[in-house]
Structure 1
Amino acid sequence: MDTPSPAVSAARVAEPKYTGAPVRMIVLAGRDPRGTDALARSFGKTHKCLVPLAGRPLVAHVLQTAAVHPAIESLAISVEREAFEGLFDVLSQLPGRGIAKLVEARENLVDSVLAAAEGWDGPVLVTTADHALLTPASIDTMIAAMANADAAFAMAPRDAVLAAHPQHLHPFLEFADGAYASCNLYAAADPEALRAVEVFRGGGRFAGNAWGVLRAFGFVNLALLSLRAASLFDAAARVSRRIGQRLAPVVLHDGSQALDVDDAATHAAAEALLAQRPEPARAAVGTNRSRQALG
């Protein structure tokens, strides 16, 4: 794994926050506020997270991976209340120990993350319900990154992404050291570090939220990035200074980690890649996770 740039505030890095504490995984499963998702509609579902994939609802794949990971003791699924009933069956089948809860999605991404983190005082991982190919190795790498960072985000190099999914259509972010795709996987050493998500208030993806980018980078830094003059790690260092937190990019060389199940093509690609993997391990303790729904 690449290490954070030494340009990131050395004084802050000298006192890492993460101490190997249990982790809460937040899974964003809410519906696009602009309308019903086309993939969900094609399967007759109100929410994409309930679309079947390889014999199970889409969200079940990421939840299964998280539920059997030894570091994750709490799961919080952010989704509209109307989808609670459809997710109860998914939660009832989860192995492992700890708590899995449903949290009503808020009006925007930032408030949804903060609501899902409420009541938890340890490290947090955030991903999306369509991250069906999430691996334990990616979780391990993100947790390790928190030893020297307040927050971390995962990226995959273009060649690795295209090797796993040659038809990848989402735009790559261009930096001086190459092009990368977002893996929709984020980490925060504690709830205070979730302040970094305030950069994205107003919704939208990172690449499409112009005002969020301007607030994070500043006009000069944004110009440098637009000219591809900064490397990924230099860009992260600039944002770190801007928001007052150590923000570390984590490069995942498994290109499948950048595959979101968004449409029929990516659904087929994810199903094919899942078929190449061994069946996920089942925890010996069985389905004894505590489940609850919150308002």
Structure 2
Amino acid sequence: MSFSAVILAGSRGGAVDPVAVAEGVPHKALIPVDGRTMLERVADAVRAAGARTVAVSANDPAVVALTERLSLRVLPPAAGPSDSVATALADLGTPLLVTTADHALLEPEWITSFLHDVPAGADIAVLLAERARIEAAMRDTRRTYLRFADGAWSGCNLFYLATSDAARAIGLWRAVEADRKRPWRIVRRFGVGTLLRYLTGRLTLADAVARLGRTADVRAAAVAARDGLAAVDVDKLSDLADVRAIIANRR
């Protein structure tokens, strides 16, 4: 399967990430994990999965310099992830894989499995992992979960924009991004009936994502991750410690 990919590595409003500060680097993407920066690890995984073009959405000078050394395309980031994706979509076209520079555990197999499992006809798809699968892969991890009738799910920082129609979902993506910690506000956009189904535990993840897509006039799909570790990224120092331990155990 031929596709392009963008790795999000922008800085929000010039804020310094506390994990980067603790590690003594100017940006989280530059944190070393087992001899390679997180950005290098993600880029290697995306390339190994078959991406024909890989771009990095970045504005930090050190991240831009590393991107160029890795022979990757540099794209200017926007105010937030959703707008940065819009920039990448306009530049790279579809199909487009989207991930983040702090996805240090990313494996090529996770990407190929995700793309294989995207339903035919979907314009946009998102990978999520079910809580039991995450906790089976890594005990005692703390993640943000979206709770639906078919389980509690956590995002895996992997998105697939399969067709040009996916561009219609960017505005909705921006709104979801703002409410990502308050899922009931996301569901409220579907109307009172759907909100009640969610609050009473009768709304499934697949139904929620499909309804979300219909509000943007796109065919949206949720894909279940085969490996719970796909939901693990580096948001805090404890995540970094976990990631390093997992990679050391693999080695």
Match of 1:178 in 2: 151
| Residue 45 of structure 2 corresponds to residue 55 of structure 1 | no
| Residue 221 of structure 2 corresponds to residue 242 of structure 1 | no
TM-score by length of 2: 0.89
Divergent runs of 4+, >6 A:
none
| Residue 250 of structure 2 corresponds to residue 277 of structure 1 | yes
Residue 79 of structure 1: how far off its partner (Å):
1.1
Q: Provide, for residues 55-105 of structure 1, a one-character-per-residue CA deviation record: whole Å limited to 9, x for no partner.
A: 1111111100111223x101111111533124333x15xxxxxxx201111
**Bigger mean CA offset, 195-204 vs 227-236:** 195-204
Find the aligned partners of 2:216 and 2:53 in 1 and give their Cα distance. Answer: 28
Match of 1:8 in 2: none
- Taking only the aligned residue pairs, the percentage that are identical comes to 32
CA contact (8 A) 1:30 1:78 kept: yes
**Stretches of structure 1 lacking an aligned partner (at least 5 in a row):** 1-19, 93-99, 279-295
Find the aligned partners of 2:249 and 2:104 in 1 and give their Cα distance. Answer: 13
Counterpart secondary structure, 1:77: strand
Q: 1:50–1:213: structure 2 CA closer, same or farther, 3 Å change rule?
A: farther
Q: 2:87 aligns with which of 103, 107, 115?
A: 115
CA contact (8 A) 1:24 1:74 kept: yes
Counterpart secondary structure, 2:52: strand
Find the aligned partners of 1:37 and 1:47 in 2 and give their Cα distance. Answer: 7
Q: Provide, for residues 177-227 of structure 1, a one-character-per-residue CA deviation record: whole Å limited to 9, x for no partner.
A: 111111111111123313223213265362348765544x33432332233
Q: 1:42 aligns with which of 22, 26, 32?
A: 22
Q: 1:250–1:256: structure 2 CA closer, same or farther, 3 Å change rule?
A: same
Pick the structure with greater CA Rg: 1
Find the aligned partners of 2:15 and 2:195 in 1 and give their Cα distance. Answer: 31
Find the aligned partners of 2:76 and 2:6 in 1 and give their Cα distance. Answer: 12
Find the aligned partners of 2:6 and 2:100 in 1 and give their Cα distance. Answer: 8
Find the aligned partners of 1:77 and 1:34 in 2 and give their Cα distance. Answer: 17
Query: Structure 2: which amino acid aligns with 1:186?
Result: F
Q: 1:206 aligns with which of 161, 166, 180?
A: 180
CA contact (8 A) 1:120 1:191 kept: no
| Residue 201 of structure 2 corresponds to residue 228 of structure 1 | yes
Query: Structure 1: which amino acid aligns with 2:54?
Result: L
Find the aligned partners of 1:180 and 1:63 in 2 and give their Cα distance. Answer: 26
Find the aligned partners of 1:49 and 1:230 in 2 and give their Cα distance. Answer: 36
Residue 124 of structure 1: how far off its partner (Å):
0.7
Find the aligned partners of 2:169 and 2:195 in 1 and give their Cα distance. Answer: 18
Q: Provide, for residues 22-71 of structure 1, a one-character-per-residue CA deviation record: whole Å limited to 9, x for no partner.
A: 2111111112337211000111222111111111111111100111223x
Q: Provide, for residues 271-294 of structure 1, a one-character-per-residue CA deviation record: whole Å limited to 9, x for no partner.
A: 12223436xxxxxxxxxxxxxxxx
Query: Structure 2: which amino acid aligns with 1:240?
Result: G
Q: Which has the higher helix share?
A: 2
Aligned positions of 1:1-295 closer than 5 A: 20=1, 22-33=2-13, 35-70=15-50, 72-82=51-61, 83-89=63-69, 91-92=70-71, 100-144=72-116, 145=118, 147-201=120-174, 203-204=177-178, 206-208=180-182, 214-215=188-189, 217-277=190-250
Find the aligned partners of 2:82 and 2:203 in 1 and give their Cα distance. Answer: 27
Find the aligned partners of 2:155 and 2:186 in 1 and give their Cα distance. Answer: 16
**Bigger mean CA offset, 187-196 vs 49-58:** 187-196
CA contact (8 A) 1:158 1:179 kept: yes
**Stretches of structure 2 lacking an aligned partner (at least 5 in a row):** none
Query: Structure 2: which amino acid aligns with 1:106?
Result: A
CA contact (8 A) 2:148 2:202 kept: yes
Find the aligned partners of 1:157 and 1:232 in 2 and give their Cα distance. Answer: 10
Q: 1:26–1:112: structure 2 CA closer, same or farther, 3 Å change rule?
A: same
